[in-house]
């Protein structure tokens, strides 16, 4: 009789150990997936800031004067990862927008922080 109780206790500890190992593995996997997602978003944000800095630097007069032809030239040469590009005025109306892949235009612009110039 005592042999069955010990075996039952051993099984319980084995099940507990297996569950702890599985939970640890799942937690580590979930954390890695989350980190990859955050890193991807950070990379996109950095790339967007770099592109906007380059456009602002090399076409300052075109943005200031809102010359559509010059703005078209400024937004023409982009890398392969750029899907959609929009330049906004101070009141968040679109100055120029370019779609590099059809049907991927966002519906709404997100709230853009006003302290972007400080960064």
pLDDT band at 7 (very low <50, low <70, confident <90, very high): confident
Determine what percent of the chain is predicted with pLDDT higher than 70.
79
- For the segment 22-70, what is each residue's pLDDT rounded down to a tens digit? 999 999 999 999 999 999 988 888 888 888 788 778 777 777 788 888 8
Q: Report the predicted TM-score, pTM, of the whole model to 2 decimal places.
A: 0.58
pLDDT band at 116 (very low <50, low <70, confident <90, very high): very low
d(CA 7, CA 9): 5
pLDDT at 56: 76
pLDDT at 78: 63
d(CA 115, CA 55): 19
Does residue 86 contact residue 51 with C-beta atoms inside 8 Å? no
């Amino acid at each position: 009789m005592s042999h069955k109780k010990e075996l039952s206790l051993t099984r319980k500890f084995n099940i507990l150990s297996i569950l702890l190992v599985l939970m640890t593995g799942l937690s580590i996997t979930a954390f890695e997936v989350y980190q990859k997602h955050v890193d991807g978003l950070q990379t996109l944000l950095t790339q967007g800031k770099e592109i906007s800095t380059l456009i602002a630097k090399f076409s300052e007069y075109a943005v200031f004067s809102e010359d559509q032809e010059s703005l078209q030239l400024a937004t023409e040469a982009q890398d392969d990862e750029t899907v959609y590009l929009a330049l906004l005025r101070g009141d968040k109306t679109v100055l120029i927008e370019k779609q590099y892949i059809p049907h991927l235009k966002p519906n709404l612009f997100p709230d853009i922080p006003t302290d972007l110039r400080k960064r």
